[in-house]
Amino acid sequence: MRKLLLLALAAVALTASAQPPSSLKDAYKDLFMMGVAVNQRNITDSAQSALVVREFSSMTAENDMKPASVHPRPDTWTWERADRIADFCRHHGIKLRGHTLMWHNQMCDWMFYDADHRFVSKDTLFQRMRQHIHTVVNRYKDIVYCWDVFNECIADGPRRLDADGHDQPLRESKFYQICHSDEFIRKAFEYAREADPDALLFYNDYNECDPVKCDRICTMIRSMKADGVPIDGIGMQGHYNIYGPSEADIENAVSRYADIVDHIHMTELDIRVNREMGGQLQHSDNAGATLTDTLLRRQQAQYAAVFRVMRRHADKVDCVTFWNLSDRDSWLGPDNYPLLFDRNYQPKPVYHTVRDFE
Ligand code: G3I
């Protein structure tokens, strides 16, 4: 409510001065933080780092804090790249989202196996997870304000009914193959809370507006919270396209998540100009495609819709993070044109759609 009042006052002030806000973070400062996922080049190149500092109030390491990046072998920790990002945040007063403590991808694969390359027991896996989580969380406790504790545990696709007629919602990851239940997710949250009682702890996933997946996420988080698992928030990745999800589907998903948790982050927003979506690259990076006026207008409409929903839920939404700084950096390839800055780091028309909202 207070945020909405501030927004109304800001709108009056804007009309009076007729000055557009000078940056994304400025435009949204009374609503939520604006974040960006960065690679090493973004924080070392002077023009790119100046852009990050000017526009964003929160940062995420695109790859450099993931398990495989910092802990490639049981006794080897490789902190240099993650430390550089943490130091950048400390130096510039930017908040750091921790991404990600656990994931089936870019994971420390050694954690799953014994010396004979057989799966370890559940207890050994939990002990290795705990050591990893405690070490990483403790190292960045002063600067990381929230962690994606577990990423992408829920399966995509239609319901898969077991013999009792219950949907089996979990991805068949190595975690699942060792544990045969959702216990590994619960444990990860417990370990993260032990390590830092103050950090906000998130479950993060993509295709989170798909009604079946949204159901699965809600059922899982609700049951875990009822059992006392320390989950503070839900991360909606937001790897969308210009055709979907619809504003109604996004609205529905945010409303449902807002019934369960007090903190919602959009963690990985980008909007590609073909029909693919989600957290995995599918068939194309759209190479060679040009951004026609029609595509551009659709993309502006989709970005406008996403931010309308986020603003409506500003009481629960704390942060919206773009997945990469510019089209040049995008994991989708530059010809998907998914971001607000072009491959020369110049603002695109869609930047103004997002920044200069009414
Ligand atoms: O580290 C190697 C490097 O040694 C090698 O020279 C280079 C050559 O291609 O590849 C490097 O690894 C790449 C890594 O990014 C770092 O650049 C991998 O091939 C590549 O697959 C990996 O992609 C990352 C992807 O996660 C992995 O699944 C993307 O950059 C990153 O944007 C993406 O981020 C994920 C989020 O963490 C979770 N949600 C979905 C999102 C998009 O997939």
How far is Cα 18 from Cα 320, in angstroms, rounded to an integer?
A: 25
Tokens representing 78? Answer: 């490789």
How far is Cα 247 from Cα 99, in angstroms, rounded to an integer?
A: 27
**Which amino acid would we find at residue 158?**
P
Distance from the alpha carbon of residue 64 to the mean position of ligand 1, in angstroms:
10
Tell me what pLDDT residue 12 has.
52
Q: What is the mean pLDDT of residues 44-66?
A: 98
Catalytic hit among 55, 62, 208, 268: 268
**Cα angle for residues 102, 306, 203 (degrees, 5° grid):** 20
Instruction: Specify which of 79-88, 160-169, 270-279 reaches the highest per-range mean pLDDT.
Output: 79-88
**Is 78 exposed, middle or buried, given 0-12, 13-18 or 19+ CB atoms closer than 10 A?**
middle
Tokens representing 300? Answer: 């502006």
**Cα angle for residues 182, 150, 68 (degrees, 5° grid):** 120
152 catalytic per annotation: yes
SS3 (DSSP) at 88: helix
Tell me what pLDDT residue 284 has.
72
Tokens representing 229? Answer: 């698992």
Distance from the alpha carbon of residue 11 to the mean position of ligand 1, in angstroms:
40
Residue 353's pLDDT band (boundaries 50, 70, 90)?
A: very high
Catalytic hit among 55, 62, 152, 190: 152
Whole-structure pTM value: 0.94
Distance from the alpha carbon of residue 14 to the mean position of ligand 1, in angstroms:
41
User: Percentage of the chain surpassing pLDDT 90?
Assistant: 86
Q: In whole angstroms, what separates CA 275 from the centre of its chain? A: 21
Q: What is the mean pLDDT of residues 299-308?
A: 98
| Residue 148 · residue 204 · CB < 8 Å | yes
Of 65, 60, 66, which is closest to residue 43 (Cα–Cα)? Answer: 60
Among 36, 41, 62, 81, which residue has the most ligand 1 atoms within 8 Å of its CB, making it the best to mutate? Answer: 62
Helix 122-139 vs helix 183-195: crossing angle, to nearest 10: 30
Residue 180's pLDDT band (boundaries 50, 70, 90)?
A: very high
Which residues are 148's β-sheet partners?
Answer: 202
Of 42, 114, 133, which is closest to residue 81 (Cα–Cα)? Answer: 42
CB under 6 Å to ligand 1: residues? 62-63, 105-106, 151, 206, 237, 268, 279-280, 331
* Residue 166 pLDDT > 90: no
Average pLDDT value for the chain? 94
Tell the residue nearest (CA) to atom 15 of ligand 1.
63
Of 350, 335, 300, 325, which is closest to residue 53 (Cα–Cα)? Answer: 325
First vs last C-alpha separation in the chain: 18
Q: How would DSSP label each residue in 327-342? A: TTT-TT-GGG--SSB-
**Which amino acid would we find at residue 220?**
M
